[in-house]
Structures are given as structure tokens and as C-alpha cells.
A and B are shown apart, each in its own frame.
Chain A
Amino acid sequence: MWENRCKIVVSGVGYSKVSRMADIPLAAHALEAVKGAVADSGLEMSDIDGLATYPELPATGHAEIDGISVVSVNCMMAMLKLPNLTWHIQVGTTNIGGAVQQATNALLAGVCKYAVVWRAMHNPRGTYQNLPGAQAAGATQFTAPYGFGGPGQGMAVAYTRWLEKNNQTRDKMATLAVTQRKHTQHNPHAYFHGTPLTREDYFASRMVAHPFCLFDCDIPVQGAVAIVLTTADRGRDLKPKPAYLAGYGQRLHFETAGRIGSLSSYMEGGSSSAKLTWERSGFTPKDVDVAQIYDGFSASVIYGLESYGFCKEGEALDFIQDGRIELDGDLPLNTFGGSLGTGRIHGLWHIIEGALQASGRAGSRQVKDANVSFVGASAPIVTGTTFIFVSEPY
């Protein structure tokens, strides 16, 4: 087991308003989320001495303008003017889970005491995936001429293969979309809070990229979330009950041609990351009380459940049936609604929910007696980062 298990905690969490369009600059969303997380911890902004983020613009073909379409560490530093800042980073791989892991390492190394991690997501006006136009340069020369332009299509290609290979149909995915939307009704910060979804809605919805219909895709939004991480001894003295980080793992993996992941590449990425997390924490999938698995596109949950070891390869769509992923089921899943419910904020919200469930702070969606709380914070086909939070050190 990991010698540093339960030495780092998630303390406060914060959210901005999640809106469909970019009505205010993204920097304002990020600032609102960061201030919220610091206040939730009961800290002063001057206590914060570490900053980390992953400032990727998820849509393609748009300009990266700091404070408008991304919020870099520089941008946050300029806004906060932290008097005691001692450490900061923005990661380029492993998505936001990697930023949380780097903050963990910095705290363990003693180079900062209270680190804030945020993820701010922009929804550009006009076309979300701005295709390269007449010229397909660089790697896109082997994809764009065939009408390919976004990660959803890449996920869908692997999903088509998965369905066919395992003799399954997309009908069973309705259970995931409908159950997660039910969970969303317990999360007032989510974009789809107040908007239920029925099985009939799922089956009547238009196709976006077959086999994905509209409700297999998270809706692009503008918004931000943030967390405060600190050491366990400091976290115990703060306002909220902390969630202890029992272990984490990471693995970057995808095939190069058009970011099209094969089934073997998602299994390899997810299982490698999860294996580290199981070994470091000492837990197994059977010990998990509640799970958050990245769901930017619904099929990502299949890849997660199978590669992390919650069920066998080819069985995930059967695994999620019969109430298993409900709040009182055997494996409550994406209890905050997932990205399908909150809107496209990537994996930091999954990490927030994993921490809230472990610390008993999830309100009306709290899973009873939740102790071992698992998070797969990004698609294992792209960047597998995984985490386990627990209620108390062990």
C-alpha cells in the first residue's frame, strides 16, 4: 500500500453558475468557483499558497484567449494576487485529474499548505467544433477530409465496435441517461437540475453521431468548479469534514490516428490507472460503496466500469440495469448527475462528488454509509486518472 495514503484531503468545494452560453467572461466563473471553495473550507484567500489547473479549451478550432476561453494559472494569479503563493502549475496531459494529483504531490513535498484546483470550461458562440475549413493540416490531414471533427465521433467509433462485438444494443444505455438525470435533481448546481428525462425522451431524441443520440452527449456549457486540497492534519481543523485521499493512479493512452481509441486501448489505459489506485489504497472494486465515472459521452462509463474492474468486458450495459446504479443500489453511480446532468465541466466535478460522498456532505443524494468512494475522472480511452476517497484514515 501507498505510504502516503490518507495524508492528503479534499476540504472545501466551490461552483460557479453553469450557463449554456458565455454571458460573462470565463474568468468570472473561475473566480466564483475558487472563492466558493475557499469559503467552504473556512479559509481566507491569503491562506492559499498553491494553484493548479488544466486550462484546455474542449472545443476545437477556436482561439485560446486567457480569461475568455481558458483560465490559466497566470490569469488566476493576476486576479487573486495571493500574498503567500509558493507553488503553481498547469498540466498539459492527464486532464484535470493530473492537476489534482500534482497538487497532492506538492502538498506531500511540503512546498505548499493549501492548494486550490479549478476547472473552467468555455462554450464558444457559434459552431462548437470549428472544423479546419478548406485546409486540413497536421494530424487532421488524415481525419478531417473524411468529415471527422470531434472527440464524440471518436468515442462513437469505439462504441459501435463494442456494441457489435458484445452483441448488445444501444437501448440499454437509456438506463444510464435516465438514472443520472434522476440523480441530477438532487444537485442544485447542475445545468439540468429541474429538467427530468424519461426513457421515452431518450428513445425519441435525435441522433448526433450514431450510436450516440443527443442524451448520450454532455451539453456544452460555460462554468467552473474548484476544490481546496490540504494535508490531513491541517484539513481536520477546517470547517468541513475532510475526504481522505486513499490512493490515485494515472495512465495516458490513445492511438494516434484521429484520436480513435480502440477497445484494447481503453482497457489498457483504464486498467493501468485503476491497478495503481487499487494497489495504493489496498481496496478492490468489491469494496467500493459509491463511484463517479467520467461520462462526457455515455459510452465512457462502459469503458470505465469494465477497465477499472467493476464488471467483465462486454457486460457493462447489463451491469447498470435493475437499479444497481440508483442511490440505494449496489453501486450508486455518478450520484451528482455526471457530466450528462451538470453540463460539460470535465472530471473535476466527479472528483468533488467523490470527496463529498466520502465526507458525508452530499445532502439529499448522500449514499448511506458511504466509505470507499471511487472516481474515474477522465475517459480511460484518453487519459485514465483514478482516485479513491475514504471517510476516515485506516
Chain B
Amino acid sequence: MAEPGRALPVPTPETKHFWEGTAAGELRLQRCDSCGKNYFPPKPFCATCGSRKVSVFKASGKAVLWSYVIHHRPVPGFKPPYAIAVVQLAEGPRMMSNIVECEQTPEALQLDMDLEVVFEKQNDTITLPVFRPAKG
């Protein structure tokens, strides 16, 4: 039997657009058409003002590293130590992710470093957005 892999998302009607986006190579966020706030995670209403006039848009994929934790305990699908990161997207919202193509050490993980999204295909329906140091 194969080793159990990482937990994979189960899309819901509210989050379907996001996972369809990553499968198509797009990072899709939402924007409130009433107050103008960009937000994540997906919701059918704006958590800031309560408006239901919201739309989906394609984000730039640019981010900075807000913070991280280097996890040292075993978790299926990961080889400890590995970093769990929180990135600040150029459009405003924060998102949890992993940092790839980068040593998983405090020395390499510089806060506020520029990042760019890459899409890691997990199976036919699920693609995860992860981030790597920006290549300029």
C-alpha cells in the first residue's frame, strides 16, 4: 500500500470557483462590489460589510511571506521539518500555503520576501497553489 498522502480539499459550492481556478492555472479571489474589499477564503457574501454583491477575479499570483512555522512532527504527506507559511497576496488577503524551491530553514525563509504562485497538480480535480521565491 502506498504511504498516505497529504489531505486534499473537498470543494463545496462556495469554494468550487477557487479549485476550478487553480486547476486552470489561475489564483481566483473574490471582491465585494459594495465596499471594494478583496477577500479570501471564498464566501458568497462580504464578511466586512455583509453585501451579497460579490464577484470572482483572477489574482496576480504575487505575494510576500508574512510569516511561517517550521513543523517538526510527522504529518501524512510531509517530511518534517517543513514550513507552513502564511503569505500576503498583492491584492491584500492572506492565505496559508507551502513555500517550494526554498530551504525550509529560518535563514532561507526571509519575512516579506517576494513570492510567486506555482500550481501543484495533485489529481484530476485538485491542484494546490503553493509559492516559491519570485524569479524577478
Residue pairs across A and B with CB atoms within 8 Å: the count is: 115
Does B35 belong to the interface (CB within 8 Å)?
A: no
Q: Most B CB atoms within 10 A — which of A132, A136, A145, A210?
A: A145
Contact between chains at A145 and B70 (CB < 8 Å): no
Which residues of B sit under 8 angstroms from A165, Cβ to Cβ? 111
Question: Which residue of B5, B41, B98 is within 8 Å of A134 (Cβ)?
Answer: B5
Which residues of A sit under 8 angstroms from B5, Cβ to Cβ? 134
Does A206 belong to the interface (CB within 8 Å)?
A: yes
Contact between chains at B81 and A131 (CB < 8 Å): no
Contact between chains at A147 and B72 (CB < 8 Å): no
Question: Which residue of B6, B41, B69, B78 is within 8 Å of A157 (Cβ)?
Answer: B69
Which residues of A sit under 8 angstroms from B108, Cβ to Cβ? none
Does A255 belong to the interface (CB within 8 Å)?
A: yes
Does A322 belong to the interface (CB within 8 Å)?
A: no
- Chain A contact patch, size range: 35 or more
Q: Most A CB atoms within 10 A — which of B68, B69, B78, B82?
A: B69
Does B115 belong to the interface (CB within 8 Å)?
A: no
Binding site for A on B (CB under 8 A): 4-12, 15, 40-41, 47, 66-73, 75-78, 81-82, 84-86, 93-98, 106, 111, 128, 130
Contact between chains at B96 and A143 (CB < 8 Å): yes
Contact between chains at B68 and A160 (CB < 8 Å): yes
Tell which of A7-15, A148-156, A352-360 binds the partner: A148-156
Contact between chains at A148 and B68 (CB < 8 Å): no
Nearest CB on B from A283, distance (A): 34
Which 7 pairs from chain A and chain B are nearest by CB? A141-B9, A210-B70, A156-B69, A161-B67, A136-B7, A144-B7, A137-B10
A153 to B68, CA, bound (A): 9
Contact between chains at B8 and A136 (CB < 8 Å): yes
Contact between chains at A135 and B7 (CB < 8 Å): yes
Nearest CB on A from B8, distance (A): 6
Nearest CB on B from A160, distance (A): 5
Q: What would 9 more interface pairs be, CB under 8 Å, given A149-B75, A161-B67, A164-B67?
A: A134-B4, A142-B9, A144-B9, A153-B84, A160-B68, A160-B111, A210-B69, A210-B70, A210-B81
Does A109 belong to the interface (CB within 8 Å)?
A: no
Does A126 belong to the interface (CB within 8 Å)?
A: no
Which residues of A sit under 8 angstroms from B7, Cβ to Cβ? 131-136, 140, 144-145
Question: Which residue of A136, A146, A208, A257 is within 8 Å of B94 (Cβ)?
Answer: A257
A28 to B89, CA, bound (A): 49
7 contacts between A and B (CB under 8 A): A137-B10, A145-B6, A145-B9, A146-B128, A146-B130, A147-B98, A207-B72
